[in-house]
């Protein structure tokens, strides 16, 4: 799934939900820019999968930006449209995550 997501990002075949945009703009640790999401996805790995999500399976990607900022991206891959839907984006907090990869 990650390979398909990365390919969609490279082809600009992705869209942000309103929720994702709002979370990026109001992130308590500083606004998250589109370029940071792109960098985190390209350097990322899937740390949780949600195969039962509807209408598309989704996953949680953890990656770091070029500036080494940790970012979590929840997104779904719409195989029928070959498109990624970005559900939410946030900067994980160490009090809730171990190494930003496992929930406390």
68 pLDDT higher than 90: yes
74 pLDDT higher than 90: yes
* Model-wide pTM > 0.85: yes
With a CB cutoff of 8 Å and minimum separation 6, the contacts of 45 are 2, 61, 62, 63
Ordered by start, the domain boundaries in the chain are: 2-103
103 pLDDT higher than 90: no
Which CATH code fits 2-103?
A: 3.30.2310
């Amino acid at each position: 799934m990650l390979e398909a997501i990365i390919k969609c990002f490279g082809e600009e075949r992705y869209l942000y939900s309103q929720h994702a945009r709002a979370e990026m703009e109001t992130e308590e640790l500083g606004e998250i820019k589109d370029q940071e999401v792109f960098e985190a996805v390209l350097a990322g790995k899937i740390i949780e999968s949600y195969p039962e999500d509807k209408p598309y399976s989704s996953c949680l990607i953890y990656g770091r930006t070029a500036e080494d900022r940790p970012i979590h991206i929840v997104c779904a891959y719409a195989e029928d449209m070959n498109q990624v839907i970005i559900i939410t984006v946030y900067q994980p907090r160490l009090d809730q995550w171990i190494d930003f990869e496992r929930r406390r």
